[in-house]
Structure 1
Amino acid sequence: MKKLLSIVLAGVLTVSLTACAGKGSSSEVESNSNETTKTDSKAEVAATQGKYTLKIGTALSENDPLYQALENVFEKNVEEQTNGEVQVEIYSSSQLGSDEDVLEQALVGAGVGIITDPGRLSNYVYDFGVLQAPYIADSYEEVLKLFATDVYKDLCSQIEQQGFNILSFNYYQGERELFTKKPIVEPSDLKGQRIRSSGSQVVTATLEAMGANTTVLAWSEAYQALQQQVIEGVEVHLSAAVGSSMQEVTKYLSFTGHQQLLTALVISDAWMKSLPEEYQTILIDQSYKAGTAASEAVLAKNEEYLRTLKEGGIEVIECNKEAFKEACNIAYETLGYTQIKAKLDAELGR
């Protein structure tokens, strides 16, 4: 799997997964000087202070491979290659706020970034959510192909126009499964079950098509909500389940595989364009390298994650995956993604 990952990432996807990174003019901000004068750009502020600071948030814990790649690859290499002029700070467990909060800060030019998914980006470019729609891909290899399509590149251009800069879209977090308090074999078993949704329309529509009731919560609140019986389950990938100790508050794991989660490091386009071009290139390159490292680690450790969950008391349920696939077909109609899915299918020859 590692060999395949390296070949694909080094070849077909190197350009497309970083396609949203761009260059342009800087935005105006206030300086912090004692004279309280205004400068014309963030670049001038940074020159006065001697450095730029980028704060990156993620809902994941510090022991998650994605967080570790951000810290050990992205932060380390960016700071080294810019001689400390760009300082990177990584925040786990939604310490910077929810994905939506950080994205809104980025829109006004703040030096912040977030690891987020296509579903949340669909709040800004609606069709982006199709890349996270249920069973749009059945494997990691298939989802990589989605991010090499002209459909993706067009969506990427649209997200730039909204004020975001996608440094790279190659942070694979794994396949999304159901963790519940009761065994889930068929979609009908989800009737009346309150399952946590991130709040994105794609996730909510997927869960409701599968038969669940949804409750929108930040991931950092899911553990306590399960403890207090506010919800009966979550849909999440194995690394995040282990990182947040889902084995302590749920009993069953159903391998529904309803999403293959490839995520992006998204920052402010205005802040990005305030950097010297050489620094912009460094951020793009190192984000891609961090995404590769994170993805390889996730793939290599999935068996270890599953073992940890089982040892913690989780029972794996043999669910009817085909029944879940069939149930999720209605989600494309609900979301209005029928036409764009047809374009993807045509481009991929399926």
Structure 2
Amino acid sequence: MTHPIRRIGPALTGALVAATLGLSLPAAGFAETTIRLGHVLPETHSWNIAATGFAEEVAKATEGRVKVEVFASGQLGSEKEVIEGMQIGTIQGGVIGSGSFQFVEPKLGIIEMPYAWSSREQAYGALDGQLGSELAALLDAQGIEVLAWWENGFRNITSNVKPIVEPADLAGLKIRVTPDKVRLATFELLGAQPAPLAFGELYSALQQGVFDAQENPLSIIDSSSFFEVQKYVSMTGHIWGAACLTVSKTVWDQISPEDQALVKAAAIHWGTEQRAMVAKSDADLVATLEAKGMIFNEVDKPAFVEALAPIWEQQTDVYGADLINLMKSYRQ
């Protein structure tokens, strides 16, 4: 008499194989999981420091059932490449600037609309609340699990040509921007000549004079040594950006619900730590970068806000009235 293997469920089959081979299965049939987590920033940046802490906490909390290996400085590819890898399951995780997800889900751009947030705390409230939940659901539909919302910070403009004080100062300036439509439209509206470029190529492009200017948070200006190839820092604070700690749904579904809860708790804990690092570094970095030769100046922010107001109307069809109204409820 034969006993068809198809009558045995996959969990039981795995248990039988494990018993035969003298192996043990963690957590009711869920295999041990290794997450290769990539990001594009240097090892000295808060993303990497927090990701390393996250990895250590996950390993300890799950007793080694989930392991995280952190790869800094674009070792796993550009942000676009990491996102694409997560969607097809060839890359397990990443710390990604929220704006970089726009090529798979345009509505993620709402976080980085010009002058959307009056303070980082206002943005935290939205992303830790319903806005963050709805945006995470959109990425879930694209095969990506958001573990926690971390921070990129307020972006400021650097230039090796002149200080930027009012919008007219950007006229004709060749500026590198992130590869998303809203960022390009923002600087086109300001009269600049924006062009996208992968972050890993930015330092050499500035060094070679391909661009006159770029825009990034102070922490990135410092950790990426842009002070060596840029002179002026104009404190536009034109965009606050989030960072998304994400994993591929393919790998996420291999982790037991109990361990998923532990991983998410570690992600949120290190998100709080990472946000605090960014806030502290912003307070200290002006003096640090001035000591490295950079010249700081304030800008006419009301003039920038007025000049960029049309961007909001242009994006209404992209984000939809419901999402825009939800965001407005956090901005009041």
Same structural fold, with TM-score higher than 0.5 when normalized by the shorter chain: yes
Post-superposition offset of 1:308? 1.7
- 1:116 aligns with 96
Post-superposition offset of 1:338? 7.5
Post-superposition offset of 1:333? 3.0
Of the three residues 214, 217, 220, the one matched with 2:200 is 220
- 2:47 aligns with 66
Post-superposition offset of 1:335? 3.1
Per-residue CA deviations over 1:167-200 (Å, capped at 9, x if unaligned) read 011x122211001112111111111111111102
Task: Give the number of the structure whose alpha-carbon radius of gyration is greater.
Answer: 2
Q: For residues 303 and 327 of structure 1, what CA distance do their matches in structure 2 show? A: 28
Post-superposition offset of 1:102? 0.8
- 1:339 aligns with 321
Of the three residues 231, 249, 258, the one matched with 1:278 is 258
Amino acid of the structure 1 residue aligned with 2:104 = Y
Aligned-partner SS, 1:122: helix
Of the three residues 221, 232, 237, the one matched with 1:241 is 221
Normalised by the length of structure 1, the TM-score is 0.81
- 2:20 aligns with none
Of the three residues 53, 56, 72, the one matched with 1:76 is 56
Q: For residues 321 and 188 of structure 2, what CA distance do their matches in structure 1 show? A: 21
Amino acid of the structure 2 residue aligned with 1:180 = S
Superposed, which structure 2 residues align to 1:110-189 within 5 Å? 110-169=90-149, 171-181=150-160, 182-189=162-169
- Structure 1 stretches of 5 or more lacking a match? 1-25, 27-42
Task: Report the RMSD for the aligned CA atoms in angstroms.
Answer: 2.2
Q: Is the 8 A contact 1:118 1:130 kept in 2?
A: no
> Is the deviation greater in 327-336 or in 90-99?
327-336
Q: Is the 8 A contact 2:82 2:94 kept in 1?
A: yes
Count the aligned residue pairs. Answer: 304
Post-superposition offset of 1:349? 6.9
Normalised by the length of structure 2, the TM-score is 0.85
Q: For residues 217 and 278 of structure 1, what CA distance do their matches in structure 2 show? A: 41
Post-superposition offset of 1:307? 1.5
Matched, 1:55 2:41: no
Post-superposition offset of 1:257? 0.7
Identity %: 31
Amino acid of the structure 2 residue aligned with 1:157 = A
Q: Is the 8 A contact 2:38 2:70 kept in 1?
A: yes
Aligned-partner SS, 1:333: helix
Structure 1 residues 117, 247: closer, same or farther in 2, change over 3 A?
same
> Is the deviation greater in 338-347 or in 133-142?
338-347
